[in-house]
Amino acid sequence: MRDELSRRAMLGLGAAALLSTRGGAQPGDGVGFAVVGLGKLSQGQILPAFRTCRSARLAALVSGHPEKAHRLAAEQKLPESAVYSYERFDRIAADPRIEAVYIVLPNFLHADYTIRALKAGKHVLCEKPMATSVADAERMVAAAKAANRKLMIAYRCQYEPLNLYGMRLMRRGALGRPRLVVTNMGRQSDLADPSDAWRLDMRMSGGGALADMGIYGINGARYLLNEEPVAVRAWAQTARRDPRFRSVEDLIAWEFRFPSGAISTGTTSFDQAGTMAWEVYGTRGKMVADPGCFYGGNRLAVSAGPGDGQPKIAEVDQFAREMDWMGDIVRGRAPMVSPGEEGLQDMRLIRAILESVARGGATVPTDFGYRRAVDPAKAVRA
């Protein structure tokens, strides 16, 4: 039998690296990025993605492994001076080549490095989840405000054509009134894989599968429905004898209630076949994205009338698109779509889910007053 669909399989699903031909950018005016953390995501996706960016360019690397950093710098044709250690990180303040910093570190390091980058006068693009606690996320939002710098959370799917297509179908009511969003985001985790080991540690990850994969479902339900949940309840199912789940929950099932009357049910697990799928049921139609949030190869099936079937949606390099968007924000050419506040909302929702789990599935209120300022369905070109 073939191995389970693994994170690697998802990574390998060949994001088409299309050269963007959109206008607006001038050659050479790309915003210089320092990439902080040179793990699997940076090496496999982010560094290669710069090749197709038009508003972002790779300017520096920050790593605790000098050998790896210098090797990658050479590959990327960066000068030796563009390599920073974590000890020398704050010196980026004096480096005019660096205008923005992309935080690709394990979750528990996001807050400190984001705040240090902001204090160094840099804009920050930070991977999701933005932190491992609500308090850290609040500090990050406050730091961006204090520094008068941009803080964008890397919600890949808010910039991804298939998800944008789905959002637009929802906005124009193509499925009728939305009733239900069902999300399943999970995979097999591997304690022996360094890029998974920290994800299986509560302190370092802030929530195991929920923080790593489930967050796509939480965020997805919110951007598909374009509203914020008012209550949640959740159950966990975790085999504590499995060494992977000593400190984090494994399978979590949750339900959010939304003011419109819609419900979203979400599940996530680090002990299941790899899946990133969402489904929407409306009064007049449904759509299924399975996979819906892979780096490539996503598929949407719509049953809602004349548009029935599987719409052909061009793929893009999702990381290039995110970095370009951040570059355009810095240059004043694009609105902020997924700011720190958007990430903070998910941190609060993750906390509410874990609180409900701890309280045996009790209903936990989630109306934190957050309202999305910019709808990606309207702001982001497909």
Nearest-approach distance from CB 294 to its own copies, in angstroms: 13
Nearest-approach distance from CB 44 to its own copies, in angstroms: 22
Instruction: Express the helix, strand and coil content of the chain in percent, nearest 5 each.
Output: 40, 20, 40
Query: Partners of 254 in the beta sheet?
Result: 234, 266
If the CB atoms of residues 64 and 305 are measured against its own copies, the closer one turns out to be 305
Angstrom distance (rounded) from CA 184 to CA 246: 23
Find where tokens 């790779």 sit. 58
Nearest-approach distance from CB 128 to its own copies, in angstroms: 23
If the CB atoms of residues 304 and 382 are measured against its own copies, the closer one turns out to be 304
Q: Is the dihedral of CA 342, 343, 348, 351 positive or negative?
A: positive
Angstrom distance (rounded) from CA 52 to CA 19: 5
Active site residue 128: yes
Nearest-approach distance from CB 316 to its own copies, in angstroms: 25
Nearest-approach distance from CB 37 to its own copies, in angstroms: 30
If the CB atoms of residues 180 and 313 are measured against its own copies, the closer one turns out to be 180
**102: Cβ–Cβ under 8 A, 6 or more apart, which residues?**
33, 34, 35, 36, 46, 124, 125, 126, 127, 154, 323, 326
If the CB atoms of residues 1 and 94 are measured against its own copies, the closer one turns out to be 1
Q: Of residues 102, 113, 122, 128, which has the active-site annotation?
A: 128
If the CB atoms of residues 83 and 364 are measured against its own copies, the closer one turns out to be 364
Q: Of residues 159, 165, 216, 295, which has the active-site annotation?
A: 216
- Where does this chain bind its own copies (CB under 8 A)? 1-2, 4-5, 174-177, 179-180, 182, 184, 186, 188, 233, 235, 237, 239, 251, 253, 255, 257, 261-263, 265, 267, 269, 271-273, 275, 279, 281-286, 288, 290, 303-306, 308, 360-361, 363
If the CB atoms of residues 30 and 214 are measured against its own copies, the closer one turns out to be 214
- By the 10 Å C-beta count (0-12 exposed, 13-18 middle, 19+ buried), 88 is classed as exposed
Confirm if 196 and 190 have CB atoms less than 8 A apart. Answer: yes
Tokens encoding 156: 């890949």
Nearest-approach distance from CB 376 to its own copies, in angstroms: 25
Active site residue 223: no
Q: In angstroms, how far is CA 253 from the centroid of its own chain?
A: 20
Confirm if 235 and 252 have CB atoms less than 8 A apart. Answer: yes
| Cis amide linkage into residue 229, ω under 30° from 0 | no
Question: In this structure, are strands 231-237 and 364-365 parallel, antiparallel, or unpaired?
Answer: antiparallel
Reduce the DSSP state of residue 192 to 3 states and report it. Answer: coil
- Give the residue numbers annotated as catalytic, written as ranges: 128, 216
